[in-house]
Structure formats: C-alpha cells, structure tokens
Amino acid sequence: GQQVMQIPQYQHVQEGEDFTTYCNSSTTLSNIQWYKQRPGGHPVFLIQLVKSGEVKKQKRLTFQFGEAKKNSSLHITATQTTDVGTYFCAGLDNYGQNFVFGPGTRLSVLP
Amino acid sequence: GAGVSQTPSNKVTEKGKYVELRCDPISGHTALYWYRQSLGQGPEFLIYFQGTGAADDSGLPNDRFFAVRPEGSVSTLKIQRTERGDSAVYLCASSLGDGRDTQYFGPGTRLTVL
C-alpha cells in the first residue's frame, strides 16, 4: 500500500534559523496536504497542493509539490518560537479516498 | 460555527471492556474520518464515511473495531474487548466534500486501556 515518509524526524533550530521538512510518497499523489500539530493539540490544516511543481507561500512558510507529484517540502524562513510543533504531510493517492499521513517532523525552536 | 467535537475527551477502561467514542462533525460536512494517533506518530487512518456509508474501512485493524454514522452526521467508533494496544488518541475529522477538501480535526479522545 501507499507509504508516506518524512525527514527529518526531529529538528532543533535556533530562533531565526530556517527549517525544512521533506515528504516522500511511494506512489504518485493526487494531492498533498500539510498540517501542524502543537504539543497536546490536534492537527490543523495549513495548505493543499494539487498541481505538479506547485509552489505556495504563507508568510514565512513555503510549500512545494514535486514535478512527479511524489514528494513535497515545507520551508520556514526565520523560525519563531510560535513555529514549534509537529508538521505532517498527508497524501491522497490516485486510487484511494483516504489520506495517508507521514510520521511528522517535530520542530523545536530555541529562543 | 462550531468545529468538530469529540466526547469523551478522556476514557480510561479495563482490558476486555467495550467503549464507544463519539464524533460530532461540522454541520453540513458530508465526509467524516476516524484516525488513531499513537505518541510520536502521525494519524493512522481507520475509516472514512461519505454520508451514512463507510466509503473506505480498510484502516480498521480488526473486527473488534466498528464505526457507524446512521444519519450522516454524528459518528460513533466502537471498540469491543479492548486491549492495551488500543491505547491511543482517537481523532475524528470532517470535510465538506471528499478527500480533496480540507479536513478539520476534532480535539481527539485519549483512550487508555489498563
């Protein structure tokens, strides 16, 4: 079945440094969504990417969908302590109706 | 309007007991998902409803797990003969249409099986 992997598993950065997490799927995706989960909270939707090579920006966050629609990345510029949390990608393949979540990347930001 | 709500927020039960977890989706959302999340891991898909019917239940781990959505709104996840390995946070999410729409997650029910 479809597998979604994310690297790194953990990332510790100093406030102001940049951060990137990568998401890779074993199958071609119909679309991909990114979620953020704060400690003790539930996943909150950030963005959805649909088109091959698509790039979307939300303030300091940049999301990219690979040309082959099998990988994606999330880049945060100049991290802040409010960015702390676990970032999950979730991919919908071309055959299924359910999203498969990656294991997440846990981001810690040191002030 | 109100977001997705789940009750109870916490459930402690003994091994072998039966539990029911409830999810109230956002009004008007036809799609409803159940996930299970263990500590340090991503949400694991269990079942997806489109309206009243289970469109995909391939994630249910075994026949001890069952979910219903009789009127296309509230859903109940039922676990029979609970085992310690069932301990996790059970998340419910709803979306307006299908898997291509934003999923709005509830706060989850933390299930602990002693």
Per-residue pLDDT tens digits for A1-45: 778 999 999 999 999 999 999 999 999 999 999 999 999 899 999
Phi-psi region of B27 (alpha: psi -120 to 50; beta: other; left: phi over 0): beta
Residues 47-66 of A with CB under 8 A from B: 48, 50
Residues 7-46 of A with CB under 8 A from B: 30-31, 33, 35, 41-45
User: Cβ–Cβ contacts within 10 Å for residue B65, how many?
Assistant: 18
Q: Over chain B, what is the mean pLDDT?
A: 94
What pLDDT does A10 receive? 96
Cα B29 off chain centre by: 15
Cβ atoms B106, B89 nearer than 8 A:
no
| Any A CB within 8 A of B8 CB | no
Residue A95 has pLDDT above 80, yes or no: no
Q: Which two tokens stand for residue A90?
A: 């979730």
Q: Over chain A, what is the mean pLDDT?
A: 93
Across the interface, whether the CB atoms of B100 and A92 are under 8 A apart is answered yes
| CB-CB neighbors (< 8 A) of B99 in chain A | 30, 92, 96-99
